Amino acid sequence: MSTNVPSLAKQSLLLEFASLKHASPEGLYVTITPGDPSLWSGVLFVREGPYKGAVLRFQISFPNPFPSSPPLITFASDIFHPLLTPLTTYTYTTSTSDTETVSATDFERLPPGGFSLRHGFPQWFGRERTVSLELARSPKSDGSSSTFGSSTTTRPLLDVTMHDVLEYMRKAFSSEELLDSIPLSAAANPGAYHAYRAFKGRDQLSSATQSRTTSPEPSTSRARKPGEWNWEGVWEERVKRGVQSTLSEGMLYGSAGAGDDVIRFAEMPDEALQKIKARILKS
């Protein structure tokens, strides 16, 4: 497959990928599309947290030079997550919060299934991006920080690696602490954000507002925003259903988002599987 990626950018992406061989985040497997280093395919096995047991397929593309611009991560599974744009929505911008879809610059626009990096790497977006570009141009910065989502000590763009991005993505599905820290302004799915807050008992709706959302309204009333809905019980049900859907035969082995993927699974008897494991452990 031929690409229009400049040779220097290709080399940079190949080096990023090579570095993962020695420090890949736990439960995460990534490969490069043959002939196209700007398109990666991956699978994340979630081993802990609220999404434990999920097998998530995703693709990573680099529409603009990395690390000066963020990669685009899209998931094939329809998972209910504050940072994941629903597969059934229109293109969503990371610069909005509890509003309808609006236009944004290309690198801030998320497609269905898009994973938002605004919370973990604010230096790629908005005013933080300008600050980070200035830091990247300076000879040295002593104000870097490895804390995800920290805007008080913004890391220069050139300090961000794909290992940082993938580790953040892994924690987004396995760490409740990270989920707790996501602000509404960084959410790609405001509904999932509010449902999670309700699940954790942190929703700020008054009892009057809740009673109003559960009672019928005239058809002429305005459409309610996600923050005005009653999300009780929604989080548990949607997450459970989403995790189960990632384990379906169609998603794992068939054409439901997996058939054309570079990483493929094969069904085999347990005896054959154990032999393969033994060979791997010996190598």
Tens-digit pLDDT profile for residues 235-251: 999 999 999 999 887 77
Residue 271, domain member (yes or no): no
Q: What is the mean pLDDT of the chain?
A: 76
**CATH number, residue 57:** 3.10.110.10
Q: What is the pLDDT of residue 227?
A: 52
Residue 126, domain member (yes or no): no
Q: What is the pLDDT of residue 258?
A: 47
d(CA 190, CA 81) in angstroms, rounded, equals 9
Single pTM value for the model: 0.75
Token pair 């700007």 in the structure block, residue: 38
Token pair 């996501």 in the structure block, residue: 182
Q: What is the pLDDT of residue 102?
A: 38
Residue 188, domain member (yes or no): yes
Residue 54, domain member (yes or no): yes
Which domain does 35 fall in, by range?
A: 7-121+160-247
pLDDT band at 214 (very low <50, low <70, confident <90, very high): very low
Residue 240, domain member (yes or no): yes
Kindly report which listed range (36-45, 85-94, 211-220, 257-266) carries the lowest average pLDDT score: 211-220
Q: Closest by alpha carbon to 151, among 193, 177, 121, 187?
A: 121
Tens-digit pLDDT profile for residues 164-178: 999 999 999 999 999
Predicted confidence (pLDDT) at residue 275 exceeds the cutoff of 60: yes
Residue 139, domain member (yes or no): no
Predicted confidence (pLDDT) at residue 207 exceeds the cutoff of 90: no
Kindly report which listed range (26-30, 67-71, 126-130) carries the lowest average pLDDT score: 126-130
Residue 53 structure tokens: 């047991």
Residue 77, domain member (yes or no): yes
Domain count, the chain: 1
d(CA 283, CA 119) in angstroms, rounded, equals 40
Residue 36, domain member (yes or no): yes
